[in-house]
Amino acid sequence: MNQPPDSAQQQPPQLDQVWQALQRLAPERAEVLTLRVLSGLSADEVAQVIGRSEAAVKLLVRQALRDLQAQLISSGEREP
């Protein structure tokens, strides 16, 4: 997960910021968010992939989105 998806050079700056923030998430949260949002798997499918309950996946997704939002807000405050 070190490289953004295809055509990284052509991505808008905001997408680059999201990708960097995603990489700073706790590994399990980043994995769940990637599987759920980017890969389009259902919560049940993600649960099967990572060996956790569906409820745990939903909680991890909420936590990951909260952390991602906080990082993006924080990085936006540091911009000139």
**How far apart are alpha carbons 43 and 1 in whole angstroms?**
20
Q: Is 58 contained in some domain? A: yes
Q: Is 37 contained in some domain? A: yes
- Could you tell me the CATH number of the domain that includes residue 61? 1.10.10.10
pTM: 0.77
pLDDT score of 14: 83
Domain total of the chain = 1
Residue pair 29/71 in contact (Cβ under 8 Å)? The answer is no
Backbone angles phi, psi at 52, to 5 degrees: -125, 170
pLDDT score of 36: 96
Q: Is 47 contained in some domain? A: yes
Show pLDDT as tens, one digit a residue, over the chain (80 residues).
555 555 445 667 688 888 999 999 999 999 999 999 999 999 999 999 999 999 999 999 999 999 999 998 887 766 55
Longest CA–CA span in the chain (Å) reads 43
pLDDT score of 54: 97
**How far apart are alpha carbons 13 and 43 in whole angstroms?**
29
